[in-house]
Structure 1
Amino acid sequence: MADIVIINPRFEKSYWGMEHALPFMGKSSNLPVACLPLLAALTPAEHSVTLIDETVEDIDWDRVAKADIVGVTGMSVQRFRMMEIIKELKERGCFVVVGGPWITVQEDYFEGLADVIFVGEAEDTWPRFLAEWKQGLHQYRYEQAEKTDMTRVPTPRFDMLKMNRYAFGSLQFSRGCPFQCEFCDIIVTFGRRPRIKTSAQVIAEFEAILASGQRIVFVVDDNLIGNKKAIKEVLREVVAWQERRGYPLSLFTEASIDLADDPELLDLMTRANFVATFIGIESPSEDALRETKKFQNVRSGGTLLEKVHRIQAAGMEVWCGMIMGFDSDDATIFDRQIEFVQASRIPFAMTGMLSAIPKTPLHDRLAAEGRLDLSDRPEFGTNIIPLQMTREELLEGYLRVLRELYDPVTYFERTDALFLDPDFDFGITKRRRWWRISPSWMQSEALCMARAIGLFARLMARVPDASLRALYRRHLGRFIKVHRRPGLVFTYVFHMAMHFHVWRLERDMASKEAHLVNSF
């Protein structure tokens, strides 16, 4: 039997990290990474497993040093902390195995430090490694010959995490995306053929996440609707489960813009109580979208703006990713980005500079053209060298876009354009009167009001800028004149906390008080 510890490193402050908002919510991290509880579920029962998520707890180095195997996972934005942890582990004589998204695209990054590496998915290779390790016959590099059969993936061990320290839960329906965006590493890691779990698996995970105490869940699929026919079948079962259980979970996810072209899919998602979706819009420039092979964003059926409004009208809030620095971008792109986000009524736009991830087609192309900054922490926040502007101009434009989008007046102008519409609501409450859904829903609405009051009180007590506090009070007063549903009130106050997070993040970066973070 092996004593195994698996570590997820903490993140540097970033857009999605929510570091400036989480203290108001009494949480330590936004959501658990999917791999920790899944790896625990994949570990044969003869071994013992301890999960350490550094985003919610400190690493007990003495405990870790006693383990037979210490696993470290992480994404590209965690690579610096991964390096620190792995060096410390090696100094303590630990046997270190490394997996996850970053090692998958940069296999030599921890060369000389990692005893074993896992490239790509590990549903097959993790149990195989443990069997070979037991016999003293383990390899250095593991990579599955075939993509994981998602119908065989076990329910993650959410019970092994400190779930009450996360703002949201997380689970996964599918992997893979059918599109071919040049900059994206998803198709490198998971392939272009969407693979999906069975309805029974998804419902089992819902029950497990519900048992953990979470009520708001991020479905982490990189494109939930990659296989529309298959996901519709699953969504019908999700709708039925939500109905039986009185709608205990609110869901949000990621999807492609062609969601707007499928009324049946929009209907199923809102009936399943999906309240928001993140969409990779990337750019208002059709030249940039075609250049990066984001063809799904330039298909017929309306403009990008019209499609965003269609999704919002159906009952889902839209969050989006926006990118600057494509080859066709010149200095006019910054104003165009701001204008698009404002017109789209998207409160949360994850705006960033184009970055070339190893193994992607973009990285290969720019490397061949000699247009990559090969330093590990590029001075200008991205490793690409743009064509039609200097690197300084790209960075300055990026910071200006962030500053203007999250200027309080600008932010609430677009947020209120959506939220202050008297017909605005999302998820199942778009289709039913909220007091008629179920008794448990009524209880959740009461809890939402208590949370809204608590969150707003903490904002008023802890936001240091008096003018910002006054603006928050003014806008909440306007909102309550239009909407009284407690869940919507909580959502609106949460949007204030998120505004403060990005507003503070941009100010710290501009003043050099924090590391430059490329939101993308």
Structure 2
Amino acid sequence: MKALLLYPQFPQSFWSYDRFMEIAGLKAVLPPLGIITVAALLPKEWEIRFCDRNVNLETEADWEWCNIVILSAMLVQKPDFHALIQKAVRLGKKVAVGGPYPTSIPQDALNAGAHYLILDEGELTVPQFLAALNQGQEQGIFRSLEKPDVSQSPMPRFDLLKRDAYLMMAIQFSRGCPFNCEFCDIITLYGRKPRTKEPQQTIAELQALYDLGWRGSLFIVDDNFIGNQRNVKRFLRELIPWMKQHSYPFTFITEASVNLAEDEELLQLMNEAGFYAVFLGIETPDQESLQLTQKVQNTRSPLVQACQKINQAGILIYAGFILGFDGERPGAGEQIQAFVEQTNIPQPMLGILQALPNTALWNRLQKEQRLLENQGIGATEVGDQNTLMNFIPTRSIDEIAREYVEGLWNLYEPRNYLRRCFQQCLSLGSLAGRKQTMQLSPGKALRLVVQLIWLQGLRQPEIRVQFWQQLWAILLTKPQVLNMYLGLCAAGEHFWEYRVLARQRITQQLGYDPLTVSALPQQEPVLVK
């Protein structure tokens, strides 16, 4: 078989860092770990060509060469995913698809013309697909109710990547999350029992990246890295000596639940291993909303103190916030803004709640006949969280939209953003003698610094003085965080453009700009029957 593996393009979004990528001379933030793991599951005798379309496009010669096209996609990649299926069908190629989007909504892939749906987790369903091919089956849907033992997962084909085009590399240690948040589709896709790789298995992946020449940031893509705290500590205790032996070639970022702050030993191990940042799903500081959406792990201790404790362990915080929960009161957006300013979280991801397919929230709203007709699944239409709800909320849509746009606009006002970056870096505790992040190649690093000085230190009068004052203070008081600080400053160029895009998207959906026009009477939405 001659297999063309394609990863669809992402639309411009909060996490795409478009302007930052341009400044740094990079193409994409992260490589697609799922499809290069699928590549490792394919027979050795197959010929494989791989293109991440966010980095480089395949050629017409690639299309002519292959006899099967394999795609993996998330919900936000929907437009390009469908276009690629349709092109393959037009050219008479067989199409096999997998990933979170087809797994959640298989009918979409079938409607687009896909022949083989390799759903759920590939370790169990790729072998089913290969057996069907060997038997001459022309189509099929391959599923598994069981969850694979990830300690048996193959090493991803890192060799297929154009590694110098990415800001970070990626590995996975675990799948699944022990919590039960109503809006989250992770537990639907991967279950509530976190499954982990073996420490040496994960370190072998790090060694492979090291041997391929990668140095710099590395994202551990687990949806909750600390879901199995016993096993994650086992891994970190073996990772620390490896990192020391190799002179700290990587710095790590991952996602974790807020209860990380409750475990001082775990924080210390992460610090020593080289973790520089963690993404927390804070969602809202409102305790009633957290209880209602079953995010009870965020109610056990005060959230501000939890963030401060993580900072004191030398770990930068990224965080997600959501507007639109049931029972939410007016002013929820202002409450989130106040929380962000109090904790100095540099890059808060503020989104409007979407009911994702098959989640507990989706099922509840469906029973209550509150899902909106002809709204697709909301965020997937534009590829980000600046889409109005795909359900009827318990307060005015106009009010939620105004608080969302106003929140993004204020939080990413350049002076506010740079101040939080500065304060967050200063608040970090001991870095355990390790290097800090934003380890770009010397050429890319020089390019980024030169452009940053031009854009923020010279060109923009409203932040020019602030830029130099803060940079000088970092150099004098905490030079070990300089790389991190400069990276955060450069990312601001993306977010200052993104807030304009988000405002335009919401304005287009509402029919008016929520920051300049008073809210209009809300029309009665159409219910799904």
TM-score normalised by structure 2 residue count: 0.89
Q: Does 1:288 align with 2:296?
A: no
Equivalence for 2:491 = 498
Question: SS of the counterpart of 1:51?
Answer: strand
The one-letter amino acid paired with 1:483 is K
The equivalent of 2:20 in structure 1 is 21
1:32-431 equivalent positions in 2, closer than 5 A: 32-112=31-111, 113-137=113-137, 139-212=139-212, 213-299=214-300, 302-374=301-373, 375-376=375-376, 378=378, 381-421=387-427, 424-425=428-429, 430-431=431-432
- Letter in structure 2 aligned against 1:111: L
Corresponding residue to 2:476 among 464, 476, 481:
481
- Note the C-alpha offset of 1:513: 11
User: Hey, what's the Cα distance between the residues in 1 that align with 2:440 and 2:24?
Assistant: 14
- Distance in 1, Cα, partners of 2:52 & 2:502: 26
Counterpart check, 1:467 vs 2:453: no
TM-aligned CA distance change 1:311 to 1:137, over 3 Å: same
> Which segment is superposed worse, 462-471 or 308-317?
462-471
| Equivalent pair of 2:216/2:439 in contact (CA under 8 Å) | no
The worse-fitting range, judged by mean Cα deviation, of 193-202 and 459-468 is 459-468
Q: Spell out, residue by residue over 1:287-310, the C-alpha distance to the aligned partner (whole angstroms, 9 max, x if none).
A: 1111110011111xx301101100
Q: Distance in 2 between matches of 1:145 and 1:363?
A: 20
| 1:122-141 deviations in Å (ceiling 9; x for gaps) | 11211331232122036511
Unaligned 5+ segments in structure 1 are 435-440
* Alignment check: 8 A CA contact 1:330 1:388 kept: no
Change (3 A) 1:382 1:141: farther
The Cα shift of 1:446 comes to: 9.7
Is the Cα–Cα contact under 8 Å of residues 421 and 489 in structure 2 kept in the other structure?
A: no
Q: 1:195/1:447 Cα in 2 relative to 1: closer, same or farther (>3 Å)?
A: closer
1:362 and 1:81 map into 2 onto residues whose CA distance is 27
Distance 1:44 1:283, change over 3 A: same
Q: Comparing 130-139 with 148-157, which one deviates more in the overlay? A: 130-139
- Indicate the SS of the match to 1:111: helix
Q: Using the TM superposition, name which of 462-471 and 70-79 deviates more.
A: 462-471
- Distance in 2 (CA, whole Å) between partners of 1:384 and 1:284 is 23
Q: Kindly state the Cα deviation for residue 61 of structure 1 after the two structures are TM-superposed.
A: 3.4
Q: Which moved more, 1:364-373 or 1:91-100?
A: 364-373
Identity level (%): 32
1:177-202 CA-to-partner distances (Å, cap 9, x unmatched) read 00000011100110000100011111
Given that 1:448 and 1:490 are in contact with CA atoms closer than 8 Å, whether structure 2 keeps it comes out as: no
SS at match of 1:216: strand
CA–CA distance in structure 1, aligned partners of residues 20 and 462 of structure 2 = 14
CA deviations 1:198-243 (Å, max 9, x no partner) are: 1111111101122332421000000011011111111111112112
> Within 2, Cα distance between the matches of 1:189 and 1:147?
10
Q: 1:366 to 1:465 in 2, by over 3 A?
A: farther
Give the whole-Å Cα distance in 2 for the aligned partners of 1:377 and 1:154. 33
Shift of 1:417: 2.2
5+ residue gaps, structure 2:
510-529
Aligned to 1:437: none
Q: 2:282 is aligned with what amino acid?
A: I
Q: Structure 1, residues 28-84: CA drift from partner, whole Å, max 9, x if none?
A: 000102112211111111211111100100132331243121011111111122112
> Which residue of structure 1 lines up, in the alignment, with residue 523 of structure 2?
none
Alignment check: 8 A CA contact 2:307 2:317 kept = yes
Counterpart amino acid of 1:509?
Answer: A
Q: Distance in 1 between matches of 2:354 and 2:389?
A: 6
Equivalent position SS for 1:277: strand
Q: Is the 8 A contact 1:325 1:386 kept in 2?
A: no
Query: Per-residue deviation at 1:445?
Result: 10
Instruction: State the one-letter code of the partner of 1:456.
Output: V
Deviation at 1:357, TM superposition (A): 0.6
Deviates more, 1:279-288 or 1:451-460: 451-460
2: CA distance, partners of 1:82 / 1:394: 31
In the TM superposition, what is the alpha-carbon distance from 1:244 to its structure 2 partner? 1.6
**Amino acid paired to 1:410:** N
Classify 1:415/1:370 alpha carbon distance in 2 versus 1 (closer, same or farther; 3 Å).
Answer: same
- Aligned equivalents of 2:5 and 2:330: distance in 1? 45
Give the whole-Å Cα distance in 1 for the aligned partners of 2:324 and 2:182: 13
- CA distance in 2 between partners of 1:465 and 1:502 (Å): 17
One-letter identity of the residue aligned with 2:241: A
Could you list the per-position Cα deviations for residues 410-434 of structure 1 after superposition, in whole angstroms to 9, with x for gaps in the alignment?
A: 223322222235xx356xxx223x5
**Contact 1:65-1:94 within 8 A present in 2 as well:** no
CA distance in 2, matches of 1:101, 1:345: 33
Matched, 1:509 2:508: no
Q: Indicate if the aligned counterparts of 1:168 and 1:214 stay in contact, CA closer than 8 A.
A: no
C-alpha distance in structure 1 between counterparts of 2:342 and 2:233, whole Å:
30
Counterparts of 1:478 and 1:52, CA distance in 2: 44
CA-to-aligned-CA distance 1:272-319 (integer Å, 9 cap, x gap)? 1111110101100011111110011111xx301101100110111111
Q: 1:81 to 1:399 in 2, by over 3 A?
A: same
Offset of 1:453 from its aligned partner? 4.4
- Kindly indicate whether the alpha-carbon contact (under 8 Å) linking 2:284 and 2:290 is maintained by their aligned counterparts in 1: yes
Contact 1:356 1:363 in 2 (8 A): yes
Matched, 1:30 2:29: yes
Give the partner amino acid of 2:226: I
When structure 1 is superposed on structure 2, of 160-169 and 41-50 the one drifting more is 41-50
Q: Which of 304-313 and 383-392 deviates more?
A: 383-392
Deviates more, 1:220-229 or 1:64-73: 64-73
Indicate conservation of the 8 Å contact 1:151/1:196, yes or no: yes
